[in-house]
Structure 1
Amino acid sequence: MAKKRFVVIGVHGWFPSKFVLRSVVGEPTGTSAKFCDETAKAIRHYFEVEHELTLPLECITLIPLQWEGKVMDRVDKLYHFLVDNPASLEAVKTADVIFWTTHSQGTPVSTILMDRLLDENLIQLHRQPVCFLAMAGIAHGPFPYLKGNLIVKYFEADAARELFDFMDSKSDISQRFHQALASILRQGVKTILVGSMQDQVVPLYSAIMANAQHPNILRALYVDGHVYSDDDFLINLIVFALRLRNAGLSDHGLLLHTSEVLAGNLYAWEGGHSTIYEEPSVYSLAPTLLFNTAPVGPLVRSPQQHGPSTQKDAKLDAFTARTRWNPYYLTWAMRGIFDDPQINQHFSQDLDRLRHLFDGWHPSSTKLREIKFRLEPIKARL
């Protein structure tokens, strides 16, 4: 194992003007390096715990990529940083395993850049397994109501305005992103999409790329520790819906239609868009998925992933974000889940637990009480 070479690439997200509070989106310097450091720690911890092996520090090369701007401008700059830097380029070309960690706007940047490197054979997936960890990725844009926020309205940053172009899958930048995403998934890049329960900037449906379907995608949820509870109905409902998606089943639009109520400080002011990358367990998902699942590891996540099925084309549905979603769809989404024969076959115990948690759920906020009102039909199935 000591002879194996690992490369970790980190790409930060978009940062607003220095005049705007950065407590929500993070600091402009050091986050790419932090992503690299935390991912490297997760890799070493994995081998220590799972295999009682200590990886020498020199086995892991860290490549933090930093440049601000619009998506394609960043792609070009970061590409030339890699190919014009002999040490970085050699590390990527000779690596045995590549981990790529990113956040927010860095997700489309990283996806397009990775696809370019694959297209030019600078990364070769037949001999270099790649795991892509995207935290709070802005795949479908920010919350639509933020378009009138002071970040965009008063500072008029081109990079900020461009984020809203991702709300429409027909926009030029969305199509470029989707082409690259489909390409890396088809070629075998293990992709982990982690959304934040209390994100102030990116809706959950955006972070988990709600319109994408492929066996190489694993979806997960980050919840700040101070608001987490094992018996919280809403948290359990969201996690359950993500499990359905990870199993290749439909969530019947549940994640899409609950994202709005999860916006901002649902439970508290703290947390959300930037605290997701402060949690070590988020980074641990990458080595666990890559080394434990086929073709590197022995585990198969679902029947869909046997054999060459992971190399099939990604399904990317058309998507247009809305300022407000029809609240009545949530009731139909839940009915669809409870009436779905596949879900009842494989997740009947989970459905029973959700019914039980719902009966004991007493939300205090107006938004959550409205959500409970819409979900009242669950009780009719007790």
Structure 2
Amino acid sequence: MGKPESPQKSSVERSQSTNSISSLLKNRFKKNQQDDNKQLKSPQTDIAETPEQDGNNSQTTEEQDLTLEQYRSQIKEQSGTSQEDLSHAQDGFLNRWGLWGQEQQSSWSSWIGTFGRQTATQSHTNAASNVAESEVRGWWGWPWSAAANENSKDQASLRTREDERVKAAVDQLSVLGPQIQRTTSWAFETHYGNKGGELSIFGTATSNSPVHCESLPKTQYENQEASIDKLEETFSDVVPDISYNYRDLTRRTKLRLLLSKICPVPLVPPEMHLYHDPTFNEPLLGKTETKKALIISIHGFLPFKMIKSLIGQPTGSATIMTEKITDCLREWGRNHGVNMDIETISMDGSGRILERVNSCLFLLLDNWLDSILNCDYLFVASHSQTVPVAIHVISRLITAGYIDNIEKAGLINISGVCLGPYKGLDSKLSVRAYTPFENDVLMELFDFQDDETVQSKELARHIEILLRKNVKLTFVGSMDDQFVPLYSSMCAHLNHPNIYRCVYLKNNTPEFLRQLVTLVMIVRNLNYDDHELLVEINSYLQGTLGAGSHGNIITNKNVYRVGIANILETSNPVAHHRLNVKPINVKKFCFNQYHLPWCLRGFLQEVLKLRSFPTRELLQNLFDAYRQWDPQSKQHKDLKYIIEVLGKSPIGELCMD
């Protein structure tokens, strides 16, 4: 892994240090810092005491019913500052939020530390030794026996105080919900095979002093989403498979890649994609090695009214993702002779993206930095709006040097809003239906549709930091997602050998669409151009309310199997590759049905360039599947009509070798 470059720091990055997270926690703000009058109420306040806010009373918009799109435009017109100035001001605000309350937390730690588990364990050891000594001394040991009794009383008192802390933390977590109009985050750390785990809640006394809980209670966020529908476990396919998309890395291929790297004249084709490691084709019988794996799952809750009106199903939780990826990782270890020592950190919450980054990075993860430093494999799973959160967090860990010694690291990004939600959804959201805090959360998602916003630029910059460190990125999306389009979850505007794309398909997906989407993913994974076919075709694939797969996708184990295989079974790039960014401004993009046939023709030409694939056979199967396709929905009928040329023209007329 090469040393990261040092690009010019942006407004969002000015608040982070390149040394370590601990140093960030210990630093104090300068007294002459600006905007002191905008400091928030101390997050040390008990969450249970936070008053519930009425969205209608706190709303400051005009009497007329504005849509979210109109509200965003109005804010831009009224604001006299530029995007960079806004990001700089927000950066100072976020820093205060992420590091707010250190004085209070240090005062908490001064007396809570006396009731810690280490002190209790030490007291227990001393008490046991004193009792043993008293038994040896006989009747004359009564003074030592009295001391042992005192230690036993202290130990019981410590257990009582620890139980009170646990009960307080559980109560604080159970009341977390939409009524708390600020960013919330909490983490639950467990070891596979152990009962219970450590709970840390941002903004409480457990932020830097986790408590041990037997189980994790459900929050009001989860209870609200459960009232919509039940999250169903699915067993559908995720295509394409790693071993099918990437051919095995042979000695001849290694020699060619080395020559392409050192030869100044391009005599051989350069490296365009990764390869499958052939050592993983067969199980390693009789050989077992132990690897320490750390799984970090990050999930976020969106405003409930939006989920109910646009998604129509629960979005799950970080615990669900943790359980699925843990099972898949243990399964992979059994098949390949690797004994996995698994530790998991489930991080959940709600709020603005960058505030979630600061709370997750500066306080919650700081409790388990030793686990990050000592692991062999690092897996990070995220869903929907937390995909940018996960990318930012791991990027800053790389900058601080915390994953330098990790053998393999990768992210599994599920239905991420890399290019925002579907175009036009913001015009369906009324500003008056949401509180100002919820409007800010929603507007931030739609800012990813514009490639000129700070959010979009920072996302691309942090992804480049990950790729320079040889972190493998797996983008998984659902073809019938009702909230996030496929080109957004696939991060279609970025190209790099370390990026792998795959699609979750329901069992009832038409065969033509299955073959077409699979071919598009193969072409993109091998670093060829799809001629924007993925962007143009997606308007005909959007799922319906409640019937899409935006939430159910996280219950499918095949999603995590593909991500694990991409992280552990693929080769490393021989040469350094820069991130190729092809800007896509969804807000300005003109979706035209007459563009689709030409995009399809250009894509078919790219398919013929594939090596080690029976391209003519694949195209013939695609044409045959189109002729047999009998669409039922209006969207699919329109799509078949637009690309009717596939049924009337032979392959030779559309594709020229």
TM-score by length of 1: 0.87
Name the amino acid aligned to 1:330.
L
- SS of the residue 1:318 aligns to: coil
- 1:259 equivalent in structure 2: 538
- 2:443 equivalent in structure 1: 161
2:475 touches 2:490 (CA, 8 Å); kept in 1?
yes
2:449 touches 2:585 (CA, 8 Å); kept in 1?
yes
- 1:276 equivalent in structure 2: 553
- 1:12 equivalent in structure 2: 299
* CA separation of 1:340 and 1:284: change in aligned 2, threshold 3 A: closer
Aligned Cα RMSD in Å?
2.3
Deviations 1:5-36 (A, max 9, x none): 110000113421368528937657x7112212
Name the amino acid aligned to 1:64.
S
Give, in angstroms, the shift of residue 176 of structure 1.
0.8
- 1:45 equivalent in structure 2: 331
Match of 2:388 among 108, 116, 120: 108
* CA separation of 1:22 and 1:81: change in aligned 2, threshold 3 A: farther
Deviations 1:47-96 (A, max 9, x none): 22233x554xxx111011123111110100100234431xx111011111
Distance 1:216 1:160 in 2: 30
- 1:243 equivalent in structure 2: 522
- SS of the residue 2:639 aligns to: helix
- 1:375 equivalent in structure 2: 643
- 1:337 equivalent in structure 2: 603
Distance 2:650 2:306 in 1: 52
- 2:428 equivalent in structure 1: 149
Name the amino acid aligned to 1:172.
V
1:138 touches 1:202 (CA, 8 Å); kept in 2?
yes
Distance 1:380 1:355 in 2: 9
Distance 2:407 2:402 in 1: 10
1:24 touches 1:272 (CA, 8 Å); kept in 2?
no
1:200 touches 1:272 (CA, 8 Å); kept in 2?
yes
Alignment of 1:197-236 (within 5 A): 197-225=479-507, 227-228=508-509, 232-236=511-515
1:39 touches 1:283 (CA, 8 Å); kept in 2?
yes
2:600 counterpart of 1:348: no
Specify the structure having the higher radius of gyration (Cα): 2
- 2:633 equivalent in structure 1: 365
2:476 counterpart of 1:194: yes
- SS of the residue 1:66 aligns to: strand
* CA separation of 1:262 and 1:47: change in aligned 2, threshold 3 A: same
Distance 1:189 1:294 in 2: 12
Alignment of 1:112-131 (within 5 A): 112-124=392-404, 127-131=406-410
* CA separation of 1:151 and 1:9: change in aligned 2, threshold 3 A: farther
Distance 1:213 1:182 in 2: 10
Distance 2:649 2:445 in 1: 42
Q: Alignment length, in residue pairs?
A: 357
Distance 2:451 2:485 in 1: 16
Give, in angstroms, the shift of residue 239 of structure 1.
1.4
Name the amino acid aligned to 1:208.
M
1:66 touches 1:78 (CA, 8 Å); kept in 2?
no
- SS of the residue 1:132 aligns to: strand
Give, in angstroms, the shift of residue 348 of structure 1.
2.3
- 1:140 equivalent in structure 2: 419
- 1:327 equivalent in structure 2: 593
* CA separation of 1:25 and 1:187: change in aligned 2, threshold 3 A: farther
- 1:290 equivalent in structure 2: 567
- 2:42 equivalent in structure 1: none
Q: Which segment is superposed worse, 126-135 or 237-246?
A: 126-135
Distance 1:111 1:357 in 2: 38
Distance 2:564 2:539 in 1: 31
* CA separation of 1:37 and 1:215: change in aligned 2, threshold 3 A: same
1:67 touches 1:77 (CA, 8 Å); kept in 2?
no
- SS of the residue 2:468 aligns to: helix
- State the percentage of identical aligned residues: 26
2:411 touches 2:474 (CA, 8 Å); kept in 1?
yes
1:134 touches 1:191 (CA, 8 Å); kept in 2?
yes
- SS of the residue 1:39 aligns to: helix
- 2:654 equivalent in structure 1: none
1:135 touches 1:194 (CA, 8 Å); kept in 2?
yes
1:37 touches 1:62 (CA, 8 Å); kept in 2?
no
Distance 1:255 1:316 in 2: 16
Deviations 1:293-333 (A, max 9, x none): 114xxxxxxxxx4x12xx41111111211476111111001
* CA separation of 1:168 and 1:20: change in aligned 2, threshold 3 A: closer
Segments of structure 1 that go 5 or more residues without pairing to the other structure are 296-304
- 2:167 equivalent in structure 1: none
- SS of the residue 1:188 aligns to: coil
1:47 touches 1:54 (CA, 8 Å); kept in 2?
yes
Name the amino acid aligned to 2:304.
S
* CA separation of 1:151 and 1:67: change in aligned 2, threshold 3 A: farther
Alignment of 1:56-95 (within 5 A): 59-85=341-367, 88-95=368-375
* CA separation of 1:278 and 1:271: change in aligned 2, threshold 3 A: farther
- SS of the residue 1:201 aligns to: coil
Distance 1:74 1:324 in 2: 33
Deviations 1:269-297 (A, max 9, x none): 523100110101111112212221114xx
Name the amino acid aligned to 2:400.
E
- SS of the residue 1:209 aligns to: coil
TM-score by length of 2: 0.52
- 1:315 equivalent in structure 2: 580
Distance 1:164 1:336 in 2: 30
Give, in angstroms, the shift of residue 214 of structure 1.
0.3
Give, in angstroms, the shift of residue 153 of structure 1.
6.0
* CA separation of 1:251 and 1:218: change in aligned 2, threshold 3 A: same
2:541 touches 2:635 (CA, 8 Å); kept in 1?
no
Name the amino acid aligned to 1:99.
F
Give, in angstroms, the shift of residue 134 of structure 1.
0.3
Distance 2:469 2:369 in 1: 21
